Amino acid sequence: MIDKFITYKEPTVVEPNGISSGGIIFRTVARLMNGKHILISDANHGSGIYAIDETLVFPCDEEGTVSDWTELGGDRGIRTDEVIQMVNDGEISYT
């Protein structure tokens, strides 16, 4: 369960790079009740064959630096608010 939000949906622009048409990633850093931190990465990558709209959760430190790129949860086609609900319901955990 989330104890406190450190940041909430801070936008980062992703420039087009020949593979992707660009887009935006919203980064949310939260502290869990157990004192650990998670990064919620909500990616909206526009159009094209490599377009990905997904929200994933990664372990991180208080500043949002990811400590392991193996996702704790999340999925394609869902947004930050849905992932927050999944964390609070215990569907996504970091122990």
User: Could you report the per-residue pLDDT of 41-81, keeping only the tens digit for each?
Assistant: 999 876 666 677 899 999 999 999 999 999 999 999 899 99
Q: How is residue 34 written in tokens? A: 């157990």
pLDDT confidence of residue 50 = 65
CA distance 78 to 33: 24
pTM for the predicted model, two decimal places: 0.89
Kindly tell me if the per-residue pLDDT of 12 is higher than 80: yes
Q: In whole numbers, what is the pLDDT of the chain averaged over residues?
A: 92
- The pLDDT of residue 47 is 66
**16 has pLDDT over 90:** no
Helix ranges restricted to H, 1-95 = 80-88
The token pair at 60 is 């991180």
